[in-house]
Chains A and B, each alone.
Chain A
Amino acid sequence: MASPLLDVRGLSVRFPTGSPVIDFGFHIEQGETVAVVGESGSGKSLTALAIMGLLPRRAAATGTIAFRGVDLLALPEKERRAIRGRQVAMVFQEPMTSLNPVMTVGRQIGEVLRRHEGLSSAAARARAIELLDLVRVADPHLRVDDYPHRLSGGMRQRVVIAIAVACRPSLLVADEPTTALDVTIQAQILDLLDRLRRDLAMALILITHDLGIVGQWADRVVVMYAGRKAEEASPHELLAHPVHPYTRGLLAASPRLSAGANYRQGPLEEIPGTIASAAGEPGCPFVPRCDLVQPSCRVAPPPLVELGGGRLVACPIAAVPEAVHAS
């Protein structure tokens, strides 16, 4: 069996103040889209930064992040830099601040091409125009000389995407690429990412806190809670039969899904409590917010249980067959 494009195992990220990512893992195949879902503070961005090798200096990452069979965490910085931006690239959450305000759009795109493909500045500029066209920026030959402040948020995110795909990476990490954008533009950007994934044969890690978008865009969904994997399934399975109480809560709190899936009347349900409420406790981090707590939940975090069909759940109720399809 060929190894997956990216295989994250036992990833922990530690700060002097705590461990926001604990024993996290998932894999992604060539050309696949995997969504990583969880509310704000669950450790999604830190996971993305760990894959990129861009964690803050005070953070220590352990575990393995195998890219094409090579553990990125074991590579020296120089070799990681050769991969970064070329084979593995990233799109960030805040398009308004993700571009250098004193550098033209064309030079910011060209920079990555000059670094990895050794292009001259004229050739890099020509390629930048092509890339702007590829990400559907109108009048690319004019926009190439613009500074970012002249562009809207959606346009800037397209430029950030152009930078990320400039060297045709085989893996693109998109960290909440549409969270800061208008709803109408969100769909356009997600469409763009999906089209690029197909055309450039990339794998896409789509990080989001919005379960509502995973059904349409993802091949697989990983639900993350307080730095751990809570559940993993195909979007169809997950939306139809969520198992983990946290996934069910997320679903009930998601406007598009709860209305469509359950024809529910009345207000959206909110998961009570906050993600920080179990910090420092030994057991499952979801205990303070869970209404199905078992005695074992307070002792240690429940292990991931395989339910067949690639489905994983870190909750003892997964062992109760009727619970799985009861919701």
Chain B
Amino acid sequence: MNRRRQMLKVVRRTLLQAVPTVLAILILNFALLKLAPGDAADVMAAESGAATEETMAMLRRQFGLDLPVLHQFLAYVGQIASFSLGFSPRYNLPVADLIGQRLPVTLLLMVSALTIALVIGIALGTAMALNVSRWPDRILSVVSLVFYSVPGFWIGLMLIVMFSVKFGWLPSGGSESIGAGLTGVDAVIDRLRHLILPASSLALFFIAIYARLMRAAILEVTAQDFVRTARAKGISEASVVLRHILRNALLPVTTLAGMHLGGILGGAVVVETVFSWPGLGRLAFESVLRRDFNVLLGVLLLSSLLVIIANMIVDLVQAWLDPRIELR
């Protein structure tokens, strides 16, 4: 249909526009990293405790850190252009492999956290709006305000203290039991058990946001004329809410969730650190400390691509949900 062709056009245009955006991001990231004091050789020397000027110069030459910055940049861009993210001397692995290992667990964490947040946030927001100014609304408003204002790492720590340390129900870190040799259903359950705490502590903040936005959106939509038209048809209150109110109130929430999908990596750094979750966030954090620029640039490049793709998905989903939006 016409609409499908328009969607394909949007995808193609987004990908074309991504090229200059990514290039700009590369320049910016590269410049920022070069401005940071110290390089990989400094860090390695500090870790070894004793390094001579000669070994450091040798390391720099080996990593290409002795070349002029522009030279380094052009070499990096050349690398990217040939679809290589370079090599990490620290991990002794190609950066692409390293990211390939870490990306799935991070995506798992992000997508589960956002899914939990959307489902619970929408449900809570709906419950609040349908009971507006009565006690369920008041109690949930306070609860969501707490979730909203307490930092994620603290919630994570408290969850660990409660469910891992005190009750011993759930593991306190990692993404799977290492060396347990689990297979099949057991392995899946083991993964889920590891996922619950980090995904929940990442989700709580977003639950609060979605619940509050959903509540406001429902109240706004409920006051609109077309809801009265729907009621005048004599359909049940449940149909009015589901078919007319919720469908419209979901529009702002999905928009925001899409934007969060692109930006959630930032929140993942903290949660991955608290829960020693072997994902991209922690990889990025460690690469900063180690001045492992190839890895860091790779992660940043990937997350900017993630933002671009997430934005495109938001556009498409919105156009699909809201017929008033014309795809151009």
Contact = CB atoms under 8 A, between A and B. Distances in A.
A238 B232 CA distance: 32
| Size class of the B contact interface (CB-based, 8 Å) | 20 to 34
Contacts of B234: 81-86, 112, 115-116
Interface string A61-86: 00000000000000000000111111
Interface in B244-299: 244, 247-248, 251
Nearest to A86: B234
A101 B324 contact: yes
A163 B234 CA distance: 11
A85 B230 CA distance: 9
Contacts, number: 77
Interface string B182-226: 000000000000000000000000000000000000000000111
B244 to A, nearest CB: 5
Contacts of B233: 84-85, 111-112, 115, 163
Interface residues of A, number: 29
B323 A97 contact: no
A116 B235 CA distance: 8
Contacts of B232: 52, 54, 84-85, 89-90, 92, 164
B235 A85 contact: yes
20 contacts: A84-B232, A84-B234, A85-B234, A85-B235, A92-B225, A92-B228, A99-B229, A100-B230, A100-B244, A102-B247, A102-B251, A103-B247, A111-B239, A111-B243, A115-B233, A115-B234, A115-B235, A149-B323, A149-B324, A163-B229
A98 B232 CA distance: 11
A237 B216 CA distance: 51
B231 interface: yes
Contacts of A54: 228, 231-232
A54 B236 CA distance: 13
B225 A101 contact: no
B161 interface: no
A147 interface: yes
B228 A101 contact: no
Contacts of A164: 232
B235 A147 contact: no
Nearest to B230: A100
Interface string A154-180: 000000100110000000000000000
